[in-house]
Amino acid sequence: MQALPPPPPAIEAPPIEAAPVAAPAPDRSEATTGELRVAAALTDAQVHVDSGFTGASIVLYGAVFNPTPDPVDVVVVVRGPDAPVRLVKKTRNMGVWLNSRPVLFEGAPGFYMTASTRPLSDIADFGQLRRLGVGVDHLRIDAPEEAGTVTRYGVRDVVVSRLGDDYLDWRRAVIRLKEAAALYDTDPDGVEFVDRGLFRAEVKLPTVAPTGKYYAEVWLFQGGEPRSVSNLTLTVEKVGIERDIYEFAHRRPWLYGVLCVILAALTGYGASRIFSRRD
């Protein structure tokens, strides 16, 4: 009989090591550990205005990358297209109230809002906010540099360039009228952190919001100083027949006026014929 081969040597299995415990996830992305910045976006960058427009609400959202242990603040500033503002003041002369000479401010934004994580005065000092133009109290609304006269829609305006001490009163009047029309707004609690580093703010456009291009600035403050800014754009435009009429009225104002007169005359003539038949 043939001898069987010897059995193979036993192979000892390596000792089973305990699975390594997963390290906790870092608080911030490794790619941003050395950079303090803010990033933001809009849920909708275009707003269409038609005959049924009743205003719009747009959400501005973003993230803060903060590699430092110091807290930060976020300030959102949205500014609409500039437009001239004509003001008159009631003055009493010999017991009769009369309108003063009109003052025409140029460059006042048609829409302006600020939203922040807390009041602006707690975020930065007066000089810093004034330099950046952040906040209604620091908004640049300048009177024309040179005096002169302009005529718009048949009304002659006297442009006053040096208002002296009365400038602040006129400027407050501009802001007061815009706030009454819901075109200027300040919300010290308008920026809300929904998660660690993630925030949101709501931009509310009223029915009378001017059309054109809007500019949004998202400022990141730390220790009273601006550390980063993110710039966005928003377009508000007319659509449909409203846009066609608007463009026609501005491109051919004389023809538009003539057509309006003719249409009013035809409407009045048609109404008179209908009521005359009933009599």
Q: What is the pLDDT of residues 137-192, one digit of tens each?
A: 888 776 655 555 555 555 555 555 556 666 777 788 888 989 999 999 999 999 99
> 126-161 in b/e burial notation, b at 16+ Cβ within 10 A?
eebbeebebbbebbebebbeeeeeeeeeeeebebbe
Q: Which of 15-19, 198-202, 273-277 has the highest mean pLDDT?
A: 198-202
For residue 17, being part of any structural domain is answered with no
Residues 110, 83 share a domain:
yes
Same domain assignment for residues 191 and 252? no
* Cα gap 53→39, rounded to integer Å: 30
39: left (phi over 0), alpha (psi -120 to 50) or beta: beta
3-class SS at 104? strand
Number of domains in the chain: 2
Note the pLDDT tens digit of each residue in 209-261. Answer: 888 999 999 999 999 999 999 999 999 987 766 666 666 676 777 777 777 88
185-203 per-position pLDDT tens digit: 999 999 999 888 899 999 9
Q: Are residues 179 and 266 in the same domain?
A: no
The answer to whether 139 and 109 are in contact (CB under 8 A) is yes
| 173 shares its domain with 137 | yes
212-222 vs 73-79, strand pairing mode:
antiparallel
Task: Look up the domain containing 251 and give its range.
Answer: 239-270
Q: Which CATH number fits the domain that encloses residue 142?
A: 2.60.40.1930
d(CA 37, CA 18): 41
pTM, 2 dp: 0.69
| Separation CA 60–CA 10 (nearest Å) | 68
Is 19 part of any domain? no
CB atoms within 10 A of CB 178: 21
